[in-house]
């Protein structure tokens, strides 16, 4: 019995010596493997293609993806290079979502309301009538649960979205006739996307969907009677003042349109973590930079449109705005009742809007009212 105990003790001692040695050897092996993998990730280069819904190098909208691409290349020390293509260069302006979803292109830059036929709830992540301003939608998406909902509804399409730009509150648009009452809306053919187009339709107008590059010719030739685009900064570059006389505000249909960087989910998951962080960081920087650009440039452009080109700036009549508001509220309520996904997004959006609006009454709204007296 004693001999058996000694033998067993020796076996235990062997185990005690062998096990640490085993973990030391194989643990080091695993660490070396991880180091090799990390080293390969750092050495591997990535060349991606990014398609957009905007004309190549177009001020603001078109330059945002270019800036993202430049920042990513600089921050990754050249490890990742992104080639940006304007609308129609590789895919149609409204084909960006499908191109990224299918994986034919790794990235895209556009606006979610263009995909309302595929993903109706996507419109909330660009802009809805009488909705969130630029600062408000940034807060809702980044701090109020919006981003999680956005990624949830895009996941079935194999797309990972990131906020990537905002133009700020837009103008209602360019018209070749005056809008004095709701009667002037009836039969009006106007380029206007998203839920804003649905509102116009209910008011008796005819919404038309056209990419930016086709708007001037369509307005000039009478294919459409009116068009919205962005605001003075971009509208001046397209020369709409040469095709229409009246410039109407406010942009009730797009109070703070957020743009999106779309990334194919498989491509995204293939990236090492540090490149994912770089893309997220670059997009966040450009998201704010674009808003700064429009805020700085819009008033300069508006002054030129009025003083140099003789554009007539007009405000929509209050009864027209109020009718648009009523129609918009009804459309949004109906959409929420018809679709569980929309209802989920809508409830989050409205709750945030109500809360932030209540605070604005005693903060920004009150201050601006006092400042402008």
| CATH number for the domain harbouring residue 102 | 3.40.190.170
Which one, of 82, 131, 133, lies nearest residue 109 by Cα? Answer: 82
Domain presence at residue 116: yes
Domain presence at residue 105: yes
Tokens standing for residue 87: 């609308």
Domain presence at residue 14: no
**Sign of the torsion formed by the C-alpha atoms of 144, 146, 147 and 152:** positive
Spell out a b/e string for 120-151, using b for 16 or more CB atoms within 10 Å of the CB, else e.
bbbbbbbbbbbbbbbebbbebbeebebbebbe
Domain presence at residue 350: no
Mean pLDDT taken over the chain: 91
Find the helix packing angle between 134-143 and 146-154, rounded to 10°. Answer: 70
Whether the pTM exceeds 0.85: the reply is yes
Q: Which domain holds residue 90?
A: 45-166+256-294
Which ranges of the chain have pLDDT less than 70? 1-42
Q: What pLDDT is recorded for position 32?
A: 55
Cβ-Cβ contacts under 8 Å for 283 (sequence gap 6 or more)? 68, 162, 163, 164, 261
Domain presence at residue 354: no
Domain presence at residue 333: no
Cβ of 157: how many Cβ atoms within 10 Å?
20
Domain presence at residue 136: yes
Q: What pLDDT is recorded for position 39?
A: 54
Query: Count of domains in the chain?
Result: 1
Which one, of 227, 232, 214, lies nearest residue 302 by Cα? Answer: 232
Domain presence at residue 3: no
C-beta of residue 261 within 8 angstroms of C-beta of residue 107: yes
C-beta of residue 196 within 8 angstroms of C-beta of residue 254: yes
Q: What pLDDT is recorded for position 31?
A: 54
């Amino acid at each position: 019995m004693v001999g058996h105990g000694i033998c067993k003790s020796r076996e235990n001692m062997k185990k005690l010596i062998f096990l640490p040695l085993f973990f030391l050897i194989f643990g080091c092996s695993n660490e070396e493997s991880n180091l090799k993998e990390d080293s390969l990730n750092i050495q591997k280069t990535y060349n991606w293609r990014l398609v957009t819904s905007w004309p190549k190098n177009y001020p603001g909208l078109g330059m945002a993806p270019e800036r993202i691409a430049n920042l990513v290349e600089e921050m990754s020390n050249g490890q990742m290079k992104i080639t940006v293509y304007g609308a129609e260069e590789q895919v149609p302006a409204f084909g960006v979502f499908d191109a990224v979803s299918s994986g034919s292109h790794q990235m895209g830059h556009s606006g979610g309301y263009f995909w309302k036929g595929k993903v109706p709830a996507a419109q909330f992540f660009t802009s809805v009538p009488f909705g969130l301003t630029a600062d408000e939608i940034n807060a809702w998406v980044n701090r109020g649960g919006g981003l999680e909902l956005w990624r949830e509804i895009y996941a079935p399409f194999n797309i990972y979205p990131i906020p990537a730009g905002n133009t700020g509150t837009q103008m209602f648009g360019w018209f070749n006739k005056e809008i004095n009452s709701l009667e002037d809306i009836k039969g009006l053919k106007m380029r206007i996307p998203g839920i804003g187009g649905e509102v116009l339709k209910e008011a008796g107008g005819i919404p038309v969907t056209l990419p930016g590059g086709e708007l001037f010719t369509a307005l000039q030739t009478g294919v459409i009677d009116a068009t919205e685009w962005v605001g003075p900064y971009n509208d001046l570059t397209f020369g709409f003042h040469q095709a229409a006389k009246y410039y109407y505000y406010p942009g009730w249909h797009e109070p703070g349109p957020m743009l999106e960087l779309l990334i194919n989910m498989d491509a995204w998951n293939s990236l090492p973590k540090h490149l994912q962080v770089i893309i997220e960081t670059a997009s966040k920087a450009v998201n704010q930079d674009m808003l700064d650009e429009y805020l700085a440039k819009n008033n300069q452009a508006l002054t030129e449109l009025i003083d140099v080109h003789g554009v007539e700036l007009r405000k929509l009549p209050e009864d027209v705005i109020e009718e648009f508001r009523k129609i918009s509220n009804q459309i949004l309520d109906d959409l929420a009742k018809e679709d569980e996904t929309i209802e989920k997004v809508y409830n989050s959006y409205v709750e945030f809007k109500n809360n932030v609006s209540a605070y604005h009454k005693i903060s920004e709204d009150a201050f601006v009212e006092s400042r402008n007296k």
